[in-house]
Chain A
Amino acid sequence: MRPYIIKRPGNVRAGIVNQRVTNRVSYSLDSTLESVNTAEQKAFEVAAKAGFGEDEQHHIGMAVREAAVNAVLHGNAYDPKKKFLVAYETTPKSLVITITDQGNGLNLDTIPDPLAPDNLMKQTGRGIFLIRSFMDEVRIRNTEPGTEITLIKHVGGKAANAKEETL
């Protein structure tokens, strides 16, 4: 796995976080479960390097894993011709991770509430819920084709204050 952008000082994309980026690294990965593990492992490493504690590293890693699974499984559907992009951006106040697939897009309206009594015992449907639970901010955008999900963890932030936007 070779990063193709490393340590690019500058600003995170306008409209996402208006903070100076101190480190940015991104990867284009195959639509495989091995890539999911790679994205997760890298998240642990970046989170640790950014100074997050063990529990927060776990939450960030798990959120990235769930988002990467969505990209590979539901987005790209294991299509060997399709890639997914994972970008890790560290600012003085936040870690911003963006995962973009080349699938058919994600319709949040079709995702049931996994905490609803009728859904509690369902086998699937908890991925987005866990991402929302573990990150401070979650933004999901249809890129037509594809879906871009941005996961933000603030230094000293509380997951309980999580926000979400669908753009």
Chain B
Amino acid sequence: MKASNRQVDGVTIVDLSGRITLGEGSVVLRDTIRDLVSKGNKKILLNLGDVTYIDSSGIGELVSAFTTVRNQNGELKLLKLTKKVHDLLQITKLYTVFDIKDDEAAAVQSFAK
């Protein structure tokens, strides 16, 4: 999995691509979030539009990312879920836990100022 960051109006958008699975993307995602939080980034938007696959480990890592950011009084939201990821979050009842957006501009504006 690949991860790259960009800043838009005070929001850190993390563009993820590939697989978030045990031993692959999970570690990349964990390290990316820890690095961002340690540098004071508290408004994080995870763009999952190019994430092709998530396993239970990847789901756990998304949950961990969410709580890590929230524990620092920040916000983490998800952007552009593929159908597979959408279905997975519904099955695991996490769809209502995460704030999920489809439009990037609207997502950025939705963060607390």
**Chain A contact residues, CB within 8 Å of chain B:** 33, 36, 58, 62, 65-66, 69, 73, 114-115, 120-124, 126-127, 129-130, 133
CB within 8 Å of A: which of B18-47? 21-23
Q: Given A69-B55, A121-B63, A121-B67, are A126 and B92 neighbors across the interface (CB < 8 Å)? A: yes
Any A CB within 8 A of the CB of B75: no
Q: List 9 A-B contacts (CB under 8 A).
A: A33-B23, A69-B22, A114-B92, A115-B92, A120-B97, A123-B60, A123-B64, A124-B60, A130-B92
Q: Is the CB of B91 within 8 A of A130?
A: yes
Within 8 A of A (CB), among B66-113: 66-67, 84, 88, 91-94, 97
Interface size class of B (residues with CB under 8 A): 20 to 34
Expressed in whole angstroms, the Cα–Cα distance for A117 and B63 within the complex equals 14
Which residues of B are interface residues toward A (Cβ below 8 A)?
A: 21-23, 53, 55-57, 59-61, 63-64, 66-67, 84, 88, 91-94, 97
Q: Are B55 and A62 in contact (CB under 8 A)?
A: yes
The dominant DSSP class at the B interface is helix
> Is the pair A66, B94 in contact by a Cβ cutoff of 8 Å?
no
Could you say which residues of chain A place their CB within 8 Å of the CB of B21? 65
- Asked if residues A123 and B61 are in contact (CB atoms below 8 Å), the reply is yes
Measured CA separation A155–B57 after assembly (Å): 28
B93 and A126 contacting across the interface, CB-CB below 8 Å: no
Residue from B53, B64, B91, B94 with most neighbouring chain A CB atoms (10 Å):
B91
Q: Which of B22, B66, B67, B88 contacts A36 (CB 8 A)?
A: B22
Q: Which residue of A lies closest to B91 (CB)?
A: A133
| Nearest residue, chain B, Cβ from A32 | B23
Known contacts A69-B57, A120-B97; can you find 16 more A-B pairs with CB under 8 A?
A58-B84, A62-B55, A65-B55, A66-B56, A114-B92, A115-B93, A120-B94, A121-B63, A121-B67, A123-B64, A124-B60, A126-B56, A126-B59, A126-B60, A130-B92, A133-B91
Which of chain A's residues have a CB closer than 8 A to the CB of B23? 33, 36
Chain B proximity of A66: nearest CB distance (Å): 6
List B contacts of A58 (CB < 8 A): 84
CB neighbours (8 Å) of A121 from chain B are 63, 66-67, 97
Give the top 4 A-B pairs by smallest Cβ distance, nearest first. A123-B60, A33-B23, A126-B56, A127-B56
Which residues does chain B contribute within 8 Å of A133, judged by CB atoms?
91
- Rounded to whole angstroms, the CA-CA distance of A115 and B61 in the bound complex is 17
Q: Closest approach, in angstroms, between the C-beta of A42 and any C-beta of chain B?
A: 16
- In the assembled complex, the Cα of A65 lies from the Cα of B56 at a distance in Å of 10
Contact of A123 among B53, B63, B88 (CB under 8 A): B63
Query: A69 to B21, alpha carbons, bound, how many Å?
Result: 10
